Amino acid sequence: MNITEHERVEGFEAFCKGLGLRHFSPRELLSKGKAHETPGHRGFGLNADPPPELWANVIPAITMADRMREHFGRPVVILSAYRNAVYNVAIGGASRSQHLKFSALDLSCPGITPQACFDWLNIQRDRGAFCGGLGLYRSFVHVDGRGTNATWINT
C-alpha cells in the first residue's frame, strides 16, 4: 500500500519529534536546496524529499547541527540536506555524496565564520560526539555521519 504525501510528511514530523531536537523543525530538514527553488537553474524542481528508509541516516548530522546552534547561540541554516541522484548530478555534486544517503548537511551560521563552525565540529568529533565527514568551504561547513572520519578543506 502506498502512503500519501500527507502521511509521509506526518511520519517525518513524528520521526523528528522523536529525536528531541531543540532548534530545528522537520521543514528545515526537508529543504531541497537553492538550485531546486531557483527558476532557470539546471537543478530547478529536480530534488525530492528523502525516502523513509533513509531518515535515520541524518541523525548524527542533525544532532551536531542542533548542538552547534546551542553552542554558538545563533541560528544555523541548513543549506543542503537530502539530494536525489538526478538533482545531485544537475548541481555538480560528488558522485558518492553523503547527501544521496541523507547522512549529510551543509550548514551556515550567520555571524559565525565557517572556520569557527568547522573548528568546533572538529573538536566535537575528536571528543567522540560523532564519527563522519567534516568539510570546510568558503561559505559553509559540511557535516555527515558516514561512520568513518574524513576531513577536507575546499575554500
Domain that holds residue 17: 5-154
- What residue type is 1 in one-letter code? M
Determine phi and psi for 79, rounding to 5 degrees.
Answer: -90, -35
Q: What is the pLDDT of residues 104-140, one digit of tens each?
A: 999 999 999 999 999 999 999 999 999 999 999 999 9
Q: What is the pLDDT of residues 64-105, one digit of tens each?
A: 999 999 999 999 999 999 999 999 999 999 999 999 999 999
Q: Total domain count for the chain? A: 1
Q: What is the pLDDT of residues 24-49, one digit of tens each?
A: 999 999 999 999 999 999 999 999 99
CATH code, 86: 3.30.1380.10
Does pTM surpass 0.85? yes
Q: How far apart are CA 122 and CA 42, in angstroms?
A: 33
